[in-house]
Copies of this chain bind each other. A is one copy, B any other.
Amino acid sequence: MQNGSARRPVTVIEVAQEAGVSPSTVSRILNGSAGVAADKKRAVEQAVERLGYRPNMMARHLVQGNSRTVGVLTQDIASPFYNDAIRGIEEGLMPHGYSPLMISGHWHSEQEGHAIELLLGRRVEALIVLGGSVPEAELHDVAARLPVVVLGRRIERPDFSGFSLVLDNFGGARRATTHLIQLGHRTIGHIMGLPEHADAQERLAGYRAALEDHGLPWDSSLVVQGDFREASGLLGMQRLLELDRPLTAVFCSNDQMAYGARLALYRRGIRVPDDLSLVGFDDLPGSSYSTPPLTSVRQPVHDLGRRMAEFVLARLNGQTPALPELELELVVRESTALVRVSPLPRPGPSSVR
């Protein structure tokens, strides 16, 4: 059995020898950069085939001074939210001969710095940052050297030369809450995301604004804190249910927490949406198949990914395109319903519907 490693890769020189031409000719044929006699072309192609030659991109890029690569700094490759964006980025990049170099910061500022270092070392031509918490100064430095677009973070520095793309979290949250109010709900809880997270703050603000819009009182005890993950949604809902205020609806700062909240309700035999309406945020792929399908605020993440890719590519070509702020859409499914007359559910055996 082969060792599997070793065996030096074939080089142009070898191909050239095999085909009886010079390395430059091989290069020209491979890149179609100049006219070449048909017979030599055939000979080279055969040699390439026979030897299993594959151009060494590192060498090629070194001499050409480009890497055809765009760095993507994500927080968690495995997070359902960022994933969609990544796929969009891929789609935007590939047709132009670029590929993404992905790396995750794992919500860890230090690791993110490290990641950027690595990306820069690999000479990515542009950088797409998905959320996270790299210091603005660092982002700014990078943006001075190459096109940068950061999603989901508002960059305060007025001189930031990159592009910061923020979604209308406020508007989305306000729309979601308004939807609940229009269904007749008057006591609406909110499970908040990580409080230091701008998204969470804006969504809270949107929730509050909707309340004010309709002359409903603001009650801070109706807001509990979570961390964007399922478990915190479960805990949050439990705490909400312990209140003596009989709430009939809850708006969660993201879908994952809504899933957790849903489970807390299931355990207590509180039906959704009959006894309590639930709204999430993000519209994860799974949300259309949860029980019941979850009403949520959709962020056009996939589309956004593609646009960001195209954006940096355009910058690379010297253009200065615009990146429009996209509206967030409320997707009404089956987890929200008209408020019932008697808001107090009676706990009982776990029965869904």
Contact = CB atoms under 8 A, between A and B. Distances in A.
A273 to B, nearest CB: 10
B146 A4 contact: yes
A5 B59 CA distance: 22
Contact of A83 (B57, B78, B162, B259): B78
Given A78-B86, A289-B230, A162 B4 contact: yes
B62 A58 contact: yes
B269 A161 contact: no
Nearest to A161: B2
Given A2-B144, A272-B352, A318-B5, A78 B67 contact: no
Interface string A238-275: 00000000000000000000011011001001011010
A135 B329 CA distance: 42
Interface stretch (A14-22, A117-125, A164-172, A204-212): A117-125
Interface in A130-186: 141, 143-148, 161-162
Contacts of A346: none
Nearest to A259: B289
Interface of A: 1-5, 7-9, 52, 54-59, 61-62, 65, 67, 76-78, 80, 83-84, 86-87, 90, 99, 101-104, 117-118, 120-123, 125, 141, 143-148, 161-162, 230, 234, 259-260, 262-263, 266, 269, 271-272, 274, 286, 288-293, 315-316, 318, 334, 350-353
A309 to B, nearest CB: 14
Contact of A118 (B8, B99, B147): B99
Contact of A77 (B55, B83, B141): B83
How many copies of this protein are present in the complex?
Answer: 2
Nearest to A274: B351
B147 A293 contact: no
Which of A5, A118, A269, A350 has most chain B Cβ within 10 Å? A5
17 contacts: A4-B146, A4-B162, A4-B315, A5-B125, A54-B121, A56-B121, A59-B62, A77-B83, A77-B86, A90-B104, A99-B103, A263-B289, A266-B292, A271-B353, A286-B286, A290-B290, A334-B350
Contacts of A145: 4, 7, 9, 52
Given A87-B77, A259-B289, A274-B351, A146 B5 contact: yes
Contact of A5 (B83, B101, B263, B316): B316
A117 B48 CA distance: 13
Contacts of A55: 121
Contacts of A104: 87, 90
